[in-house]
Structure 1
Amino acid sequence: MSQYRHEVAAGTVIERHRHDGDHQLLYVSSGIFATTTEHGTWVASAQRAVWTPAQTWHEHRVYGHTLVHLLRFPSGEVLFPGDRPTVISVSSLLRELLMACTEDGLPDREVHRLRAVIHDRVRRADLAPLELPTAVDQRLADACALVTGDLSRPRTIGWLAARTGTSDRHLARLFRAEFGTTYPQWRTNVRVFQAMVELNGGATVTETAHRCGWATTSAFVDTFARVMGQTPGAYRAAAG
């Protein structure tokens, strides 16, 4: 059982690895920390933390200068079922607890008290997935690549189907079967994630809206606030 905080430079990649004896709860009070497995990518931010089960092969990629708060849990202490990462919403209270628990030089008794409360609050936390799943079917993978290659240009599912050798109905079925979501919902998650990266990099709200394919800045603000729980302006200010 351990906990610590450390700063990570923008663009850092932590190569594929796993933790055999420990689960990992990762939170960032600034920046973006993406955890990728063979099944997809899960995103930690100032509003979300990522639980990665023990023995799960994964890698990390950092966007923006990032302050990481990391807690490890013994393999027998399972807070979430399954062998894939889980993203949870971080409340104001949980944020303060995670930041306090990872301070340097805390007495062991204080750490144990903090971790006991964190354990309870994490178990009660809402699931808040910001997940970018990895496609298995090559036609679906090709369609996703066409979208992510240029988010500034909205692509209909019919346009994607015509360029990946399938029908729009079958491509829609692939999105539901593999990702458990519709094409518009998947594209929204991709655009919100890229918007987080742009805002962390210093882009304005209007620039970000254009680069990520929203027709108007107001539409971007509405969508970002609905998904992230705060406006892009507030997110940008916190990142700065």
Structure 2
Amino acid sequence: MSLTGQFTHQDVLVEEHAYRLGPPTGILVLRYPAGEGPTHFPETRDDHRHQVFWSPTGALAVRHGGATTHLGPAQAFWARRGTTLEVTTCGSQAVHVACVREAPGHLRDLPAATVDLTPTGRAALERLCLPGVDEDEAMELKETLFAGITAPSLLESAGRGTGPARRVAAAMMSDPADPTELAEWAVRLHTSLKTLQRDFLREYDMSWTQWRTTMRLQASTALLGQYGVTDVAHRVGWASPSAYVQAFRRHYGLTPGAWVRRNALRAEAA
């Protein structure tokens, strides 16, 4: 049976499309439209189904244990039922979430993974969020969606700490350009600067400054190709595009422009 409905999430009306939910082969697709700010899927969400998170218009920030990553529109995130993780948009943007009871074979054993999503897979997921899709077509689209999920990369849980560094990291994930310095974070969290510095070293095996730079650079890779280098630099916290390019080259060994060209060539070859 095909069902369409709506519910409210963070004051935004969410579209819900359900296809053959009785059998384990059914699929539930949720479309969260862009709101006034980031959309947040906390660790405490109800995840009794396997889930695929994807945003067609911006970057998603994902935290699993102490590991964090950012995904662009050509990527999605797979979460097996019962996996503890947190997903946040980097700004106001739409999010699609596909929920299934049966996991495809190539993802069945992965608790949390970043994946590439082919153009046909993206088109199938967007089509599943439109009215007028009958159940037979929906089942075909579901198979197209999962066939379009490629190159899974396990996101390991890098830590299980509960200290203040985790709280700072969670806030920074959804807003990499946040200019707040660590001393101000310490004041907000009612802790000392030295305690917060030690907690970053313990939780992430690097200093606060190193962690923030690494996180911002990683977030920028999810935006390159959608926006120009200057725009990306500002979106992830660099006031100077040239400083961003220098930091990117030190970390990745090539410029942002070369990164985009290399990825385009790889996509053509695939």
The TM tier, using the shorter chain, reads 0.5 to 0.7
Quote the sequence identity (%). Answer: 13
Q: 1:2 aligns with which of 28, 34, 51?
A: 28
CA-to-aligned-CA distance 1:109-142 (integer Å, 9 cap, x gap): 11111111222232xx11367889447598x98x
Q: What is the aligned partner in structure 2 of residue 64 from structure 1?
A: 91
| Cα pair 1:2 1:73 within 8 Å, conserved | yes
- Structure 1's 206 and 17: CA in aligned 2 closer, same or farther, altered over 3 A? closer
Could you say if the C-alpha distance between residues 228 and 133 of structure 1 is closer, same or farther in structure 2, counting changes exceeding 3 Å? farther
Cα deviation for residue 17 of structure 1 reads: 1.7
- Alignment length, in residue pairs? 207
Cα separation, partners in 2 of 1:81 and 1:54, compared to 1, 3 Å:
same
Question: Relative to structure 1, is the Cα distance of residues 137 and 61 closer, same or farther in structure 2, using a 3 angstrom cutoff?
Answer: closer
In the superposition, the TM-score normalised over structure 1's length comes to 0.60
Q: In the alignment, what sits opposite 1:230?
A: 260
Supply the RMSD in Å over aligned alpha carbons: 5.0
Partner amino acid for 2:83?
Answer: T
Aligned-partner SS, 1:126: strand
Map residues 145-160 of structure 1 onto 2, 5 A cutoff. Answer: none
Cα shift readout 1:157-210 (whole Å, capped 9, x = no counterpart): xxxxxx967xxxxx7xx849xxxxxx989954542316768x98xx73454587
**Equivalent of 2:114, from 87, 102, 108?**
87
Deviation at 1:42, TM superposition (A): 4.0
Unmatched segments (≥5 aa) in structure 1: 153-162, 166-170, 177-182, 232-240
Please name the residue that 1:191 is paired with: 217
Contact 1:50 1:86 in 2 (8 A): yes
TM-score normalised per structure 2: 0.54
Q: Residue 160 of structure 1 aligns with which residue?
A: none
Structure 2: any 5+ residue segments left out of the alignment? 1-26, 182-195, 262-270
- Distance change >3 Å, CA 204–CA 164, structure 1 → 2: closer
Q: Is the 8 A contact 1:47 1:228 kept in 2?
A: no
Q: Matched residues in 1 for 2:81 and 2:258: separation? A: 27
Match of 1:114 among 141, 150, 153: 141
Offset, 1:72:
1.1
Separation in 2 of the partners of 1:210 and 1:68?
23
